[in-house]
Amino acid sequence: MGPPAAPRRARAWRPAGWVLLVAVWLGLVATFGLLTDHFLSPATLLTVAGRLPALTVVAAGMTLVIIAGGIDLAVGSIAALAAAVLGVAVVDWGWPVAAAAALAVAVGSTAGLTGGLVSVGLRVPPFLATLGLLEICRGAAYLVTGSRTKYIGAAVEPLARPLSGIGLPPTVLIALATVAAVHLLLTRTVFGRHVVAVGGNPAAARFAGIDTGRLRLLVHTLSGGRAGLAAVLATARLGSADPNAGVGLELAAIAAVVIGGTSLTGGSGSPLGSLLGVLVIATLEAGLAQVGASEPVKRIVTGAAIVTAVAFDSLRRRGALTTVREAPGAPPRG
C-alpha cells in the first residue's frame, strides 16, 4: 500500500459561484431599492456597514469550524460573555480599553476551547456540546453584569469612527484583516490543509497521521476567539456591553457561511465566500426592515435562504460525485 495522500488545500467555489453570489446581492439591492425610496440612502448604508464587522469576524471563525466538519452554536453567547467581561473590566475595574479588549478575546478563546474539550474529550457531538455551552455562557454573561447593561461610552467608540483619509472605521479594517488572515491560514499553511482533510474525510486524515482531536480543539479555540473579537467590535459600535447581545448571531453566521459556499458536511469552503454571504445577509436584513417586515417574516426569509443554500450545495456536491464516478478509470457504481 502506498503512502497516504497529502492533505488537500481548501477548495473554494469556482468563479461561477462568486459571480452568482454577487448577482444575488445586486438583485437584493435592486429589489429593495424599488420597493422603498429610502433603501439606497446613506442611513441604510450605515446600518449595513454597522452590521458587517462583528458578523464578518464570527463568520470567519465559523468557516473554520464547518470546514473541519463541526458546528459551533455557542458563538453568540460567547460574544455576549466576552462583551460582559469587557464592560465590567472598563467600567468597574477601571482597565484601559486595550487591556479589556485583550481579556475579552482571551475569554472567548477559553470558552471555545472548553466547548472543544467537551466535544473531543468526552466524544460529545459538536452540536450538543456547543448547545450546552450556549446556555452556560449566556448565564455567565448575566452573572458577570448583574443582568444590567454596562455603558462604556466614549472610551471605546473611537474604534467605530471613520478614519480620516480612508473613510472606514477601524472595526471594518479589523474585520477585513481577520478574513484575510483566515483565508491565508486555510490556503497557505499545513494547518489549513489539515483542517480541510479532517473535514473531508476524518478516517483518512487519521491514517495520514493528523491528530484530528488536537486540530478540532484549535479550531474551536479560534472560533471562540473570533467571537470575543466580535464582541469588542460590537461594543465599540454600541458604546455599551449588553448581556442580551448576540442572540441569533450563531444562526446569522451559519447562514452567511453556507450562503458563501462552505459545505455543511465539511471539507470545502472559503472565508472570502463567507464575507459575501455576510453582505447578502446584512443587505437582506436591512431591506426587510425598510419594507416593514415583521420579525417572524424576517426569520422565515432567513431560514428559506439557508435551506436554499444547503440544497444548492447538496446538488453541487452530488453533481461533482457523479462526475467522479463517471470518469475514466473510476470504480463502478455500487
Q: Indicate the domain borders of the chain.
A: 48-290
Q: At 151, which helix (H) or strand (E)?
A: strand 150-151
> Tell me, what's the pLDDT at 331?
46
* pLDDT tens digit at each of 334 positions of the chain: 444 444 455 554 555 677 888 898 899 999 998 988 888 888 777 777 777 999 999 999 999 999 999 999 999 999 999 999 999 999 999 999 999 999 999 999 999 999 999 999 999 999 999 999 999 999 999 999 999 999 998 888 888 888 888 878 899 999 999 999 999 999 999 999 999 999 999 999 999 999 999 999 999 999 999 999 999 999 999 999 999 999 889 988 998 998 898 988 888 899 999 999 999 988 988 888 888 888 888 888 878 887 887 787 777 767 655 544 454 554 444 4
- Counting every residue written for the chain, the total comes to 334
Strand partners, 240: 151
SS3 264: coil
Of 263, 254, 238, 241, residue with least CA distance to 306: 254
- Output the pTM of the full model: 0.88
> Do the beta carbons of residue 83 and residue 104 sit within 8 Å?
yes
Provide the CB-side half-sphere exposure for 175 (13 A, CA). Answer: 30
> Do the beta carbons of residue 208 and residue 193 sit within 8 Å?
no
Residues 83-128 have pLDDT tens digits of 999 999 999 999 999 999 999 999 999 999 999 999 999 999 999 9
Q: Which amino acid is at 298?
A: K
What is the C-alpha to C-alpha distance for residues 100 and 152, in angstroms, rounded to an integer? 12
> Tell me, what's the pLDDT at 38?
81
Per-state percent for the chain, helix, strand, coil, to nearest 5: 70, 0, 25
- What's CA 243's distance to the chain center, in Å? 20
> Do the beta carbons of residue 66 and residue 266 sit within 8 Å?
yes
83 C-beta neighbours (distance < 10 Å), count: 35
> Tell me, what's the pLDDT at 322?
54
CATH number of the 48-290 domain: 1.10.3470
What is the C-alpha to C-alpha distance for residues 67 and 256, in angstroms, rounded to an integer? 14
